[in-house]
Amino acid sequence: MRSYPATPKIYAETTLNMLLRRAKKPRVHTIEDYLRDGGYQALEKALSMSPEEIIEWVDKSTLRGRGGAGFPTGRKWKFAVQNPPPRYFVCNADESEPGTFKDRILMERDPHL
In this predicted model, what pLDDT tens digit does every residue of 42-62 receive, in sequence order? 899 999 999 999 999 999 998
Residue 79, pLDDT above cutoff 70: yes
Q: Which residue would you say has higher pLDDT here, 1 or 32? A: 32
* Residue at 25: amino acid letter: K
Q: What is the pLDDT, as a whole number, of residue 72?
A: 92
Sequence-distant (≥ 6) Cβ neighbours of residue 60 within 8 angstroms: 74
Q: What is the mean pLDDT of the chain?
A: 79
Residue 88's pLDDT is what?
86
Contact 92, 99 (CB under 8 A): no
